[in-house]
Amino acid sequence: MVDQVIKLEDTSKMMEEWDKYLAEKSGFLLVIFTGTMDADGSSWCPDCVVAKPKIKEVVEAVAGKVKVIVASVTRNEWRGNADHPYKKHGVFHVTGVPTMVLFEEENEMARAQNLDDFANEDLLNMFKEAAA
């Protein structure tokens, strides 16, 4: 499988990766939609900062077994933009960042989309166990 995390800040490149994943039918895909980080590690998205340790924990658990894409958005492109492709996409349906979704092809297997979800160990274990 894939031994790296693909980090994308370009929405069109994310859509290309999604199409490529569907064409390959290559097992599980973990997509993390998050706010961009500055060079010093800070983010415009306070919830993303809070969820980051749990996201890292999941990514480390699935490393090498699941394709992982981190799709970052800037505050300007995200806030107040109801037409953002991640919000309008027929499968992603992202309502806020951070959002972490595990797919098996086009089927959603697990989703964490608010801070309660990122604190839910049972839910996070669903992400981790998909790679087992």
pLDDT one-digit tens code per residue, 8-45: 999 999 999 999 988 987 789 999 999 998 888 789 99
Domain spans, the chain = 5-129
Q: Look at the domain 5-129 and name its fold.
A: Glutaredoxin (3.40.30)
- Phi, psi (degrees; rounded to nearest 5) at 61: -70, -30
Whether 122 sits among the annotated catalytic residues: the reply is no
Q: Taking 60 as the threshold, does the pLDDT of residue 2 lie above it? A: no
pTM of the predicted model over 0.85: yes
Q: Taking 60 as the threshold, does the pLDDT of residue 3 lie above it? A: no
Whether 45 sits among the annotated catalytic residues: the reply is yes
pLDDT at site 131? 67
Query: In angstroms, rounded to a whole number, what is the distance separating the alpha carbons of residues 86 and 78?
Result: 9
pLDDT at site 1? 42
Crossing angle of helices 46-62 and 121-129, in 10° steps, is 40
Q: Exactly one of 14, 31, 45, 69 is catalytic; which is it? A: 45
Q: Exactly one of 14, 29, 37, 48 is catalytic; which is it? A: 48
